[in-house]
Structure 1
Amino acid sequence: MSRTVIAALFQSLDGVASDPFNFQFDSFDQEMGEWMTTAIGGVDDCLLGRVTYQEWENYWPSHTEGEDSPFADFINATPKHIASTTLRSEDLRWENSSLIDGDLVEFVRGLKAADGGKIAVEGSMSVVRQLVEAGLVDELTLAIHPVVAGSGRSLFEGGATTRLELRDVQQTSKGNLLTTYGPRRT
């Protein structure tokens, strides 16, 4: 049986998924925190792109106390596979991090075929986009915040047409929509 690849991104109403810290801070609520805690349950491996890796490598190791601690404990302890054509293995200083050697899609196919729990793509819009287009993402959750960001990059900017199927929708108390999609069943 194949392992499940999950991905989740914060997004604004106008489709902006880059730099979510600029728009999601005041609409993050308890239900989103619970959803995130549930989502990381059963994850054995994480995939990160270079940008997310470089943004997170100095933040999460030092935020192991307080409200950030559950995610910090998870992300620091979980093996992280980094997709990058510019980083070298010796550039990876964060514990449990390794560089993906070769093609991302082929690497993920191999990871899915191996034994283990879920594989989570954390942040990393370009990684999510490539894996969705390759048909390797089993669950894509977009946490849509009730805000218009005004500018920024969208997840599927310049991507190929890909048909998905809505699997679940939840509304939180602050008006966020947690929309989960999967590959379209034919």
Structure 2
Amino acid sequence: MRTLTAGLFHSVDGVVESPDQWQFDSFDEEMGGLLGAMIERVDTVILGRVGYEQWSNYWPTAGDEDGFGGFINSVPKHVASRTLAGPLAWANASLIDGDLDDFVHDLKASEGGEIAVVGGISIVRHLFFAGLLDSLTLMTHPVIAGSGRRMFEPGDPLTKLELRSLGRTSKGNAILEYART
């Protein structure tokens, strides 16, 4: 069975939205290495509508200095949306037809490598609480963002987690990988 993972840049106060607004100079070589290792394991991605719209407007014409552009442009991309209509213009992108949970369950049962949820806070959150996400990595930057969407919200169910791994980068980022128990 394939694994479904997600990683989110995260501020100390829990913000995961628009990390380009608060990451500043804390993105370091170790963080780049972590993302490079992810690229090597992942052969399929799932995006939400907002992530798809933002990334499909940027990545097809962006350079590939860090290796991510080549990866995200060529990897099969499955987009969860209730409002987009297909076919999608970005190479290797298709809309998820039907129920997201059923689609993910079937995708995990298929042949292939790791599946990553990228560019979608709502999708990550939904799949996490649905029990379909095998691991969640929070890359916590040493900054207080002050405002923005958070991964977890008041009223979320009590959910016990297992810390699978932890690390610290030279610029003070904490890398925490969790799974539900």
Question: Does the TM-score normalized on the shorter chain lie above 0.5?
Answer: yes
> Between Structure 1 and Structure 2, how many residues are aligned?
180
Once superposed, which parts of structure 1, at least 4 consecutive aligned residues long, lie more than 4 Å away?
none
Shift of 1:26: 1.6
Report the alpha carbon displacement of residue 183 of structure 1 after superposing the two structures with TM: 2.1
Aligned counterparts of 1:163 and 1:123: Cα–Cα separation in 2: 25
Q: 3-state SS of the aligned residue for 1:6?
A: strand
CA-to-aligned-CA distance 1:49-92 (integer Å, 9 cap, x gap): 0111111002111123423xx111111110000001011113x2
Unaligned runs of 5+ in 1: none
Instruction: Supply the distance in 2 between the matched residues of 1:5 and 1:152 (Cα, whole angstroms).
Output: 25
Which residue of structure 2 lines up, in the alignment, with residue 40 of structure 1?
A: 39
Q: Distance between the aligned counterparts of 1:37 and 1:166, measured in 2?
A: 22
Question: Residues 109 and 65 (structure 1 numbering): CA distance in 2 closer, same or farther, change over 3 Å?
Answer: closer
Percent identity among equivalent residues?
A: 53
1:182 CA displacement: 1.1
* Correspondent of 1:84 among 81, 98, 102: 81
Contact 2:52 2:119 in 1 (8 A): no
The alignment's C-alpha RMSD in Å is 1.1
Contact 2:50 2:119 in 1 (8 A): no
Q: State the distance in 2 between where 1:10 and 1:127 align.
A: 15
1:17 aligns with 16
Counterpart code for 2:73:
N
Query: Partner of 1:180: helix, strand, or coil?
Result: strand
With normalisation by structure 1, the TM-score equals 0.93
TM-score, structure 2 normalization: 0.95
